[in-house]
Structure formats: structure tokens, C-alpha cells
Structure 1
Amino acid sequence: MPSKAQSLEPCAFCNIIEGTEPSYKIYETDYVVGFLDIQPARRGHVLIIPKVHIELFSQLPEKYAAALGDALVKVSKALTLALDNQALTVTLNQVYAQVVPHAHFHIVPAPDFRSTSTSARVGNNKVEVFPGRHQLDDDDAIEVAKMIKSRL
């Protein structure tokens, strides 16, 4: 069973694990939890975290690292099916750009180029890919979480 967070400062992710901070969980095992980002880069942006407070991914025990890998594959597949878009980015920040000091992965759906409202950099033409992060909409979060969970 995972150990409880060992930190002097409250960790937002540890609070989610313990259930003292609200979240839209979409995936959970004994070792990891996946939930929607509260400031998504794009609709369906998911975070996958270990259920142990370790800041650096490079210091994770093997069983947590393996569980993260398994979760990344399962959630990525469910996310691409839920949004009918196979394109996505999986990112890990370690120290650099790591806002919450708890090892975690981002799974961010790529723009859906079938939509006229989404654009990207094509050749020398600069167009917007990340329109900027925004606060997660509760109604949309409920819908997206349900869509993803139904495909796990």
C-alpha cells in the first residue's frame, strides 16, 4: 500500500490523493491516480500522479514508475477514444516548470485539426495551438471525466 505524503508543506496533489481537495478523478489504483487538470491547456488535459509524495520522477520506486507507465497507456487510449482524436502530448517536468512539487505526467490532447476553430503552426504560418490555460469548467469536467472513464 502506498505511503502517506511525507512533506512539511501541504501538497495539492497529496490532498487530492487523501480526498481533502476536490478533483475530477478518472483513474485510480493502489499506486497512481489520474484526474483532470484544473487549468487545462486543452479540453481533456489529464494529470497522472503517484500516490506517494516524491518530487522527482527519477527517484520513484520501480513499482510506482511501472504503475505510472501502465496508467499512461490506459488513460491515453481512453482519452483518444473519448475525444475521437488520436493526437496527444505526454509531458513530464522535473524541477524545471514543475508547478506542483510532486512527480506527475500531463496527458494533453493535441488540437483537432478537423475543427475550424483550432489551428497550429504550419510551415512559416504562425497560428495559435495553445490559446492559453483557463479555469476548468465544472459542467464540462463532469462530461469529459464521464466520457474518459467509460472508455477505460
Structure 2
Amino acid sequence: MAGCVFCGIVAGEVPAFRVADVPEGVAFLDTRPVFKGHVLVVPRTHLVTLADLPPGSLGDYFGLVQRLAVAVESGLGAGGTFVAMNNKVSQSVPHLHTHVVPRTKGDGLRGFFWPRTRYADDAEARSYADRIAAALG
């Protein structure tokens, strides 16, 4: 898609420090890493959110993400990884991408990046759960 920086990286028109370039997607270093070695994994086609990823591509795409999580950990000697994806809110580039961030014990990253809230009571929580379950089918 014209103007999409990630599509430009996939096409080789925008420089990036590529980690993988395979049929399932492209992985490259984030230019503003949480920690050094922070990788972004993108599908080759321009998709905006996880909902746009065709069901037949889920296994291939997340297989690549899984392989990258293992590679980041073993390749960097990290204690583990943080794997995350934003959909619309806080999605700085509107092209589906998954963050694979190396983690080490005591690295200072704690909890979530957004504020927390509470349900008024169990009935309110159940109503949210029921609405989501109904939408799921």
C-alpha cells in the first residue's frame, strides 16, 4: 500500500535491519526498541489488524512469530520474550505487526503499558463476557 512504511520495508524500498524474509512474513528490528533486539514481524500483504488476517494464514504467521520469539531468546541470551500486538489503539503504523521483545529478569519492564480499571461487580463482568462470547458465535 502506498505510503505504508512497513509495506515499503517488505518491498525493499525502505531500509531496515531484517531478521527474516520468508513467505510467511518479514521481521526486522524496531527503530525505537523497548530493549535492543526488539523485533517487528509483519505479514507481506497490507493488513491493518489481526481481524484482517485470513484464517488460513494464522498458522503460518504465528508460526513465524513463534520462531522469532525462540530466536530472540536464544540468539540474544535473553531470559524470555514479551510478544504483543496492538489493534487500532496505540498502533503507530496501521499495518498488522507483532512485537517480539527480549526480556531479562530485572530489566525494569513491569506490568502493562495502560491504566487498569475494575468491574463494578461480578454481574457487570459477566455481561461483558457474555457479549464477547455471543459475538464470537
| Shorter-chain TM-score above 0.5 | yes
What is the match of residue 30 of structure 1? Answer: 23
Instruction: Note closer, same or farther for the CA distance 1:52–1:120 as it changes in structure 2 (3 Å cut).
Output: closer
Within a 5 Å distance, the mapping from 1:110-129 to structure 2 comes to 110-113=103-106, 118-119=107-108
TM-score where L is the length of structure 2: 0.74
CA distance in 1, matches of 2:77, 2:5: 31
What is the match of residue 58 of structure 2? Answer: 65
| 2:61 aligned with 1:49 | no
Aligned partners of 2:24 and 2:64 also within 8 Å:
no
Equivalent of 1:74, from 62, 67, 85?
A: 67
Matched residue count: 111
Structure number with the bigger relative contact order (C-alpha 8 A, sep ≥ 6) is 1
What is the match of residue 83 of structure 1? Answer: 76
Equivalent of 1:12, from 2, 5, 11?
A: 5
Aligned partners of 1:32 and 1:64 also within 8 Å:
no
What is the match of residue 94 of structure 2? Answer: 101
Aligned partners of 1:50 and 1:64 also within 8 Å:
no
Question: Aligned-residue CA RMSD in angstroms?
Answer: 1.8
CA distance in 2, matches of 1:110, 1:14: 28
Q: Which runs of 5+ in 2 are unaligned?
A: 114-137
DSSP 3-state at the match of 1:35? strand
TM-score where L is the length of structure 1: 0.67
What is the match of residue 145 of structure 1? Answer: none
In the TM superposition, what is the alpha-carbon distance from 1:56 to its structure 2 partner?
Answer: 1.2
- Identical columns (%): 30
Instruction: Note closer, same or farther for the CA distance 1:30–1:81 as it changes in structure 2 (3 Å cut).
Output: same
Greater percentage in helix: 2
In the TM superposition, what is the alpha-carbon distance from 1:111 to its structure 2 partner?
Answer: 3.4
